[in-house]
Amino acid sequence: MKPLVLILCTGNSCRSHLAEGILRAAAGDLVNVASAGSKPAGFVHPLAIAAMAEIGIDISGHHSKHLDEFLNQPVHTVITVCGKADQACPVFPGQVNRHHWPFDDPAHATGSEAEQMEVFRRVRDEIRRAFEAYADGLRDARK
């Protein structure tokens, strides 16, 4: 069974979904990837979906989930992508690793939709660099 990497954010509407989509694409079949939130917003932000579509990753089928859905599953690695999720993060069964990589919340971007989209792109690209490097490390560890 592939290890589960759970990416946590407070609202599970932007950053955690960006990271989930990027890590799933970058890691291939090395790990299972999921995301959740401590206070799920109940939706995936439309600009997050659009930003990911620009790089060829479809997250339009994702949905916002509560981290409690994973409390009875063996979670190998937890990665928090916002400060509040790091503070609210429980320990999961079988958890081996925990990382905290905070990113700005693009949902708080202001201005026109074009200006907001620039923030989503910047955060997406920052997340992409971190999670593609993480996937490369997973691949190297398997050699």
Q: What is the pLDDT of residues 60-90, one digit of tens each?
A: 999 999 999 998 889 999 999 987 655 666 6
Q: In the chain, how long is the greatest CA-to-CA distance?
A: 47
pLDDT the model gives residue 8? 93
- The domains of the chain, with CATH numbers, are 4-142 (3.40.50.2300)
What is the pTM for the complete model shown? 0.93
Report the chain's mean pLDDT, rounded to a whole number: 92
| Catalytic residue (choose from 89, 109, 123, 135) | 89
Give the lowest-confidence range in 25-29, 59-63, 89-93, 131-135: 89-93
- Whether 82 is catalytic is yes
pLDDT the model gives residue 94? 75
| Catalytic residue (choose from 5, 36, 82, 85) | 82
**Taking a C-beta distance cutoff of 8 angstroms, is the pair 32, 5 a contact?**
yes
DSSP of 71-120: TTS--SEEEE-SHHHHHH--PPTT--EEEE-----GGG--SSHHHHHHHH
Give the lowest-confidence range in 74-78, 87-91, 98-102, 120-124: 87-91
Q: Which pLDDT band, with edges at 50, 70 and 90, does 96 fall under?
A: confident
- Whether 9 is catalytic is yes
| Catalytic residue (choose from 8, 9, 79, 85) | 9
Average pLDDT over residues 38-64: 97
- Whether 14 is catalytic is no
pLDDT the model gives residue 89? 65
Distance from C-alpha of 38 to C-alpha of 143, rounded to nearest angstrom: 35
